[in-house]
Amino acid sequence: MAPAKDHPRFSKEEYARRHGEVRRRMGERGLDVLIVYGDSGSHGSNHANVKYLTNYQDPVASYLVFPLRGEPALYISNRLYLPYAKRMSVLPETDAVDYDPAGKVERRIRELGLAKGTIGLAGFRGILYASLPHGPVSHWQKALGGASFTDATDILSGARAVKSKEEIAWFRKGAALTDMAFEALEKKARAGMTDFQLAAIIAGSYMPRGGGAKLIFIGSTYMARPHLIFPNQFPSHRKVRKGDIVLTELSSDYEMHAGQAHRPIAVGTKPTPVYQKLFEVGVEAYNRILRALGPGAGHEDVRRAASVIEEEGFTTFDTTFHGWGLLIEDPRVDVGATLIRRPQGEVVFQEGMLMVIQPNVVTPDGKRGLQVGNLVEITRTGARSLQKYPLKFMRI
């Protein structure tokens, strides 16, 4: 077992709690075994379910065979990574797929005596729903002809929805690392720098302290003639100049447990009146939503609180509110006036849930916009931000 300082992990009790909760849900559904899949998409977030049950995150893809009874087995993408995986994973049975993930998983299911069992397939549900790759699933359906297969992705998303105290402590670390990025930008960012140089400041603020670069969405545009209302997903070569606004969405993580915050930055001058108004409405919407949250509240409370955006004559681009965890979670909540129509999630909030409040307020013509927001925790008495960096219009 790896020393905690090398690869931090939760307590044995925490993993026992997680495994027990997933098995309870499996029992309610009549499932004998889960095949859990994760890959490196969405900045590694697609490994959420595998990470949750094993503590392991693969650079490519991995499969977890998780039986209702018996020992689970983790199969990673490449034998090259196995020394690292064995030190990181909490499962004694951790091995490589050896270029045959379908066969490796099939053999494990036969070893468990479940070749004719009821098998749940667990992909992931982030921004988009994703199931398992077609090739392995087709192989199992043919090779395990006596088994029945069902989509069980919701079992994992349900189990992960409410965070334990140990989990919240790690998310607080991710939030603190994320705050460091804004502190560094305020001190070191200058006109004349490219997005790449700003990104180097961001990553350099928290990586020496054990933070991972989950999201560095950053992009600059001239306030007088803007071309962005949402930051770039990868840095550009454009140089920041006086009169610009820099748009940000930043997340650093502690062992995949990330914070998230959004702040606009004015360069060399104060914000123009329209950008200042967008910011003020965004902050008001954020504060109203924060006050509306608490155990027993729900998605409609969020929508009512965010209606100030429409009342002030603006629209939105990014979703106003979404769940948070090892990946983006349900619900997603938008106001009526939005430039992108998304499926809307329903939820009744519980203590221990994490949410991101992130109004992306945009002018009706879709030409000017900015975003403000924080990762927040649902508490017994309401909600509080895990981000401590001030909710302000930054200046460099």
Q: What is the pLDDT of residues 167-204, one digit of tens each?
A: 999 999 999 999 999 999 999 999 999 999 999 999 99
Question: pLDDT, tens digit, for every residue of 52-104?
Answer: 999 999 999 999 999 999 999 999 999 999 999 999 999 999 999 999 999 99
pLDDT band at 1 (very low <50, low <70, confident <90, very high): very low
In a domain, 91, yes or no: yes
Mark whether 134 and 207 lie in a shared domain.
no
Q: What is the CATH number of the domain that holds 197?
A: 3.90.230.10
Where on the phi/psi map is residue 30: left (φ > 0), alpha (ψ -120 to 50), or beta? left
Residue entry with tokens 């062992």: 255
CA 1 to chain centre: 28
Give CA–CA dist 243/111, Å, rounded.
66
Domain count, the chain: 2
Q: Cα separation of 353 and 383, whole Å?
A: 10
Cα 393 from Cα 366, distance rounded (Å): 20
Lowest mean pLDDT among 49-53, 77-81, 337-341, 387-391: 337-341
So what's the pLDDT on residue 201? 98
Q: In this structure, are 176 and 231 located in the same domain?
A: yes
| One domain for residues 181 and 327 | yes
pLDDT value at 2 more than 80? no
pLDDT at residue 3 greater than cutoff 70: no
268-279: pLDDT as tens digits: 999 999 999 999
The one-character DSSP state at 390 is: -
| pTM: predicted TM-score of the whole model, two decimal places | 0.95
Task: Tell whether 247 is covered by a domain.
Answer: yes
Q: Are strands 383-385 and 373-378 parallel, antiparallel or unpaired?
A: antiparallel
- The domain containing residue 97 runs over which residues? 12-160
| pLDDT above 80 (res 4) | no
The verdict on 220 and 137 lying in the same domain is: no
Look at residue 129 and tell me if it is in a domain. yes
